[in-house]
Amino acid sequence: MDITSLTIPELRHQLTSGAIKPREVVEKLASRVEAVDSKLKAYLHLDVDKAREAADTANAALPLGGVPIAIKDVINVKGDPCTCASKILQGYVAPYDATVITKLREAGAILFGRTNMDEFAMGSSTENSSWGSTKNPWDLDRIPGGSSGGSAAAVGGHEAFAALGTDTGGSIRQPAALCSCVGLKPTYGRVSRYGLVAFASSLDQIGTFTKTVEEAALLLEVIAGYDPKDNTSIDRPVPKYTHSLHQGVKGLRLGVPKEYFIEGIDSEVEKAVRAAIEEYKKQGAEIVEVSLPHTKYAVAVYYIIATAEASANLARFEGVRYGKRAEGAKDVLDMYGRTRAEGFGAEVKRRIILGTYVLSSGYYDAYYNRAQKVRHMIAEDFRKAFESCDALLTPTSPTAAFKIGERTADPLQMYLADIFTIAVNLAGICGVSIPCGFTSSKLPIGLQIIGPKWGEETMFRVAHAFEQATPWHKEKPPL
């Protein structure tokens, strides 16, 4: 039995029956990482001894008892480094657990490694990491997506049973699509952000990477819930998402936004998504065309709001309290400047400069204030669409994974990689990407299912129905 290929429910069955022990699971997973991670570079840090200790005391009776979970290197885990893949936080060790980590521990999970990412979650390819690019498990010459590319590659490459990531403009869903796994972005406020190093506070959301929809539903049951430590956390009951998975889609109305099938989308991606829509028709869903007219402004609005919030959030990294401090400074201001110049990478600097500009006197109303008004219009588009349908079906990414280095010289082309995911974050609603096929060169394609605020139950139900009727999630990469 190849333990690393098991889903979490399959692994849990083996653990609760006593057929395997948590220590054996950790050893098998560590062996898998040792065998393939020199190629993938999905992990930045892995303390196998700590994982072994956790395995030896794991309670298999708990919901995630004995299940190793990888963590994106932007979420604080007490005693582990948290560098956000940036030189400016080199040497920083987290003094506390994020709320999601506390919840994972309480559910019996074993924390397993820190995954690579674009620096401070700014990027769509995981090429912006200070510690080197992660590779796509389906083609080592291609990017895994970003910014949570390490988590996606770890799950897609069977180096992790599941992983946490963060999604600010598609940073879970896009890499999930490119690495053929399930990537969940919950409703804003559903999962606590306490202990997450902020990029754009009104957009960031912690979510999951898994092999199947059922696992995504299970993990959300564990990590969701109100947290008084996060003032954006919403006090709502957390449903048992796994209970409604098998209800099918017969009678549901599924919307197809015409703005998501645009010039520039890869023909193989469109063909696979259209085939998925036909599958839903076969299962008895009613397919309706809807319009989200302000979608065309989403990228521009996102890169004003996200950079403005990044400019404010990253001001705290100046060499005084934690992380890197530049040497040879003449005074405090010189130390600030040198530390930030040496510690931040090019993409982070670009976004800080953009954000500072749009917030500056004379430009605030012209850019930031206007962007917030258009953001409201984008959210209103979704609200109206959900009056006539239960969920939306779209491509996750306009293309399959592109080659490493192909877009690094053209930031605008890189930003357009998230064109189908950004609006979901601006509206604060939920979305999930699931595998829906492959290109002729065996590169994964993702289908995005979008739900209204707090609509995860129906969204999971729609995703699960397609997954169970198709073979795509069972395919394994050629590692």
Q: Is 58 helix (H, G, I), strand (E, B) or coil?
A: coil
Q: In what order do the strands lie in the sheet with 182-185?
A: 43-45, 110-115, 68-72, 163-166, 206-210, 182-185, 430-438, 444-451, 391-395, 253-257, 286-290
CA separation for the pair 371, 383 (Å, rounded) = 18
Active site residue 125: no
From residue 293, alpha-carbon distances to 70, 290, 361, 397, 427 in Å are: 38, 9, 31, 19, 14
From the list 86, 129, 171, 433, the catalytic residue is: 171
Phi/psi at 462 (5° precision): -65, -45
CA separation for the pair 277, 275 (Å, rounded) = 5
Q: At what angle do helices 48-56 and 22-40 cross, to 10 degrees?
A: 160
CA separation for the pair 353, 150 (Å, rounded) = 27
Q: Which amino acid is at 7?
A: T
In this structure, how many other beta carbons lie within 10 angstroms of the beta carbon of residue 278? Answer: 11
In whole angstroms, what separates CA 199 from the centre of its chain?
A: 13
From the list 125, 129, 133, 147, the catalytic residue is: 147
Q: Which of 200, 193, 180 is nearest to 443 (CA)?
A: 180
From the list 41, 72, 135, 324, the catalytic residue is: 72
CA separation for the pair 181, 221 (Å, rounded) = 19
Element (H, E) at 14: helix 8-16
Active site residue 72: yes
Which residues are identified as catalytic? Answer: 72, 147, 171
